[in-house]
Chain A
Amino acid sequence: MQAVVSAQDFSCRHNSAEVLSDLSFEVGEGDYVALVGPNGSGKTTLIKAMLGLIKAAKGCIRVFGYHPDEQEEWSKIGYLPQKHLSFNQGFPSTVREIVGLGLPAKKTLSGRNREADIEAIDKALELTNISDISHKLIGDLSGGQQQRVFIARALVNEPKLLILDEPTTALDPETRENFFSLVNGLNKEKNVTVIFVTHDMGTIGKYASKLLYLDKRIIFYGSFDEFCRSDSMAHFFGESSQHIICHKHN
């Protein structure tokens, strides 16, 4: 089976410093990968490289078998960027219009106004429970509501790969739990591959099937079970930290 994401000897530089070094890994269809690591470990850089926003210094990274410059399956990828709340709060767009941005651009005079697009937007609004605010301006919403709008934008295209960069930061505990359940449901029921960047290793351990611990290089990549049994990881994190993560996972 073809890997959804594959990296081979992938390295990335910022100015002259190496930000990511010799990464080789594969993410298979239906995997739910928790991408974790300390600040500055290169998590966001790795995601941006997958999406072609950052170029490789060495090696390559492919998504659905395509190099980012030749990617033809953009519509299969749903992306929630880390800094999605730093947009211009006075931007004159409704929730519905913003969610529609997740659909492929259409070079016609009608744009994203076909019946199928309208249905897809309605579905994403419903899934994220924001149908009632769909005609409000994005700048008039609270941080948590805006977060849900951007989650809907990532889901509107019914992606096969969902890349989420710290998606739960502005959410209250209840909405956060609902969001985890939503992503879990998509992963389990629709076999959507998920790459979830987070600092919350405890919570993500409940849902993710694999853990990729990054600190400019891969420190650990494998299943949570392997992680929990690993003596080297117990040594790396300390036994109590490993226990907390694994306790929630089990």
Chain B
Amino acid sequence: MDILEFLSYGFIRRAMTAGSFIAVLCSVLGVLLVLRRLSLMGDGLAHVTFGSVALGLAMKVYPLYVSIPVVMISSVGILKMIERAGIYGDAAIGIVSSLGIAVGVVIASASGGLNVDILSYLFGNILSIGDAEVYISMFLAALVLLTIFFYFDEIFSMTFDEEFAKASGINVNRINLILAVLTSVTVVLTMRLVGIMLTSALLILPAVTAFQIGRGFKHTLFIAAASGVTSVITGIFVSFCLDLPAGASIVLINFALFFAAFSLRRFNVFHG
């Protein structure tokens, strides 16, 4: 099959468009989360997404509309547990994450068990994405990226050294809150791409790939975004040609890119 024929399918174009936007978003935010040692934030919030999707399906409401506010509240909850209650970040994520799964299982069980709808959210189904979801993804991705650009100096400062950022007059609490909200939106969008189970992979893998190659903060963000988009486009192509699940294919391509970057770095290809 040639590329033009492959691209002639509407569902492929939709998957690639929405997937690329989401990949850029995940990669940029992933760099920030990994550097702040909050890599598993995405995993924890994805588990909350499971609970909120179950709730949405049980209420017969489009799950995205329930997930975004619920995951935002959970994300801010994690932040407040770390800031106010002095609970370690990984423990706070663990608490919210297990609560999300438990609520999801209870709701799914009460509403007749794990059905096909929930399973499609667990493992993602980017090829079934509709026009409306493409536009929502593009709009939210653009909003999140613009916010990151607008607060870039503050976010960069805080990511490197939170105490110095505070001592420079940066309102660290406000930026943390903004990042928590952005992470929530990103996790919910990513759920459609690779599924709840693999969301954290799309946040972490492009970031750690970029760390092998990056020669500066902005350069690292750019490499992460390029790696994320490459994995989505290649993953969808491989999945279509070999009849494999798209989400898992994207994650495996991501791992292959990381492994290649890691190996090349070991041989000092990038850093001389």
Q: Is this pair of chains taken from one and the same complex?
A: yes
Where the two chains meet, the residues of A that have a C-beta atom closer than 8 Å to any C-beta of B are 48, 51-53, 71, 74, 77, 79, 81, 84, 87-88, 90-94, 96-98, 101-102, 104-109, 111-112, 135, 137, 140, 153
Tell me whether A111 and B164 are in contact (CB under 8 A). Answer: no
Please list 30 pairs of residues, one from A and one from B, whose beta carbons are closer than 8 Å in the complex, sorted by A's number. Answer: A51-B167, A52-B166, A52-B167, A53-B163, A53-B166, A71-B169, A74-B169, A79-B168, A81-B167, A84-B164, A87-B161, A92-B211, A92-B215, A92-B216, A92-B217, A93-B216, A93-B217, A94-B215, A96-B216, A97-B156, A98-B160, A101-B157, A104-B169, A105-B153, A105-B157, A108-B150, A109-B150, A111-B153, A137-B216, A140-B271
| In the complex with contacts A105-B153, A112-B153, A97-B217 CB distance below 8 A | yes
Q: Which residues between 161 and 180 of chain B lie within 8 Å of chain A, taking CB atoms?
A: 161, 163-164, 166-170
Q: Is B6 an interface residue (CB 8 A)?
A: no
Most chain A beta-carbon neighbours within 10 Å: one of B150, B156, B164, B217: B164
Per the bound structure, the CA–CA distance linking A105 and B161 in Å amounts to 14
Tell me whether B35 and A91 are in contact (CB under 8 A). Answer: yes
Per the bound structure, the CA–CA distance linking A51 and B162 in Å amounts to 13
Which chain A residues border B152 with CB–CB below 8 Å?
109, 111
Q: Is B149 an interface residue (CB 8 A)?
A: yes
Tell me whether B153 and A90 are in contact (CB under 8 A). Answer: no
Tell me whether A92 and B160 are in contact (CB under 8 A). Answer: no
Which chain A residues border B214 with CB–CB below 8 Å?
92
Q: How far is the CB of B69 from chain A (nearest CB, A)?
A: 27
Q: Which 5 A-B pairs have the closest CB atoms?
A: A74-B169, A105-B153, A92-B214, A51-B167, A92-B220
Q: Is B43 an interface residue (CB 8 A)?
A: no
Per the bound structure, the CA–CA distance linking A77 and B153 in Å amounts to 18
Where the two chains meet, the residues of B that have a C-beta atom closer than 8 Å to any C-beta of A are 35, 149-154, 156-157, 160-161, 163-164, 166-170, 210-211, 214-220, 271
Which chain B residues border A81 with CB–CB below 8 Å?
161, 163-164, 167
Q: How far is the CB of B94 from chain A (nearest CB, A)?
A: 22
Tell me whether B169 and A101 are in contact (CB under 8 A). Answer: no
Q: Please, which residue of chain A has its CB at the minimum distance from the CB of B175?
A: A105
Which chain B residues border A87 with CB–CB below 8 Å?
160-161
Q: How far is the CB of B97 from chain A (nearest CB, A)?
A: 24
Tell me whether B166 and A88 are in contact (CB under 8 A). Answer: no
Per the bound structure, the CA–CA distance linking A96 and B169 in Å amounts to 21
Per the bound structure, the CA–CA distance linking A94 and B156 in Å amounts to 12
Q: How far is the CB of B222 from chain A (nearest CB, A)?
A: 11
Per the bound structure, the CA–CA distance linking A174 and B242 in Å amounts to 65
Q: Which of B151, B161, B169 contacts A107 (CB 8 A)?
A: B151
Per the bound structure, the CA–CA distance linking A53 and B169 in Å amounts to 10
Which chain A residues border B156 with CB–CB below 8 Å?
97, 101
Tell me whether A79 and B164 are in contact (CB under 8 A). Answer: yes
Q: Please, which residue of chain A has its CB at the minimum distance from the CB of B37?
A: A88
Q: How far is the CB of B271 from chain A (nearest CB, A)?
A: 8
Tell me whether A74 and B168 are in contact (CB under 8 A). Answer: yes
Tell me whether B166 and A51 are in contact (CB under 8 A). Answer: yes
Q: How far is the CB of B223 from chain A (nearest CB, A)?
A: 9
Which chain B residues border A96 with CB–CB below 8 Å?
216
Most chain B beta-carbon neighbours within 10 Å: one of A71, A91, A109, A135: A91
Which chain B residues border A93 with CB–CB below 8 Å?
160, 216-217
Which chain B residues border A52 with CB–CB below 8 Å?
166-167
Per the bound structure, the CA–CA distance linking A227 and B168 in Å amounts to 34
Q: Please, which residue of chain A has its CB at the minimum distance from the CB of B207?
A: A92
Q: How far is the CB of B167 from chain A (nearest CB, A)?
A: 4
Q: How far is the CB of A87 from chain B (nearest CB, A)?
A: 6
Q: Which of A74, A90, A105 contacts B154 (CB 8 A)?
A: A105
Which chain B residues border A91 with CB–CB below 8 Å?
35, 160
Q: Please, which residue of chain B has its CB at the minimum distance from the CB of A90?
A: B211
Per the bound structure, the CA–CA distance linking A230 and B215 in Å amounts to 55
Q: Which of B153, B166, B210, B216 contacts A106 (CB 8 A)?
A: B153
Tell me whether B154 and A79 are in contact (CB under 8 A). Answer: no
Per the bound structure, the CA–CA distance linking A74 and B156 in Å amounts to 18
Which chain B residues border A94 with CB–CB below 8 Å?
215-217
Per the bound structure, the CA–CA distance linking A86 and B163 in Å amounts to 12
Which chain B residues border A101 with CB–CB below 8 Å?
156-157, 160-161, 164, 168
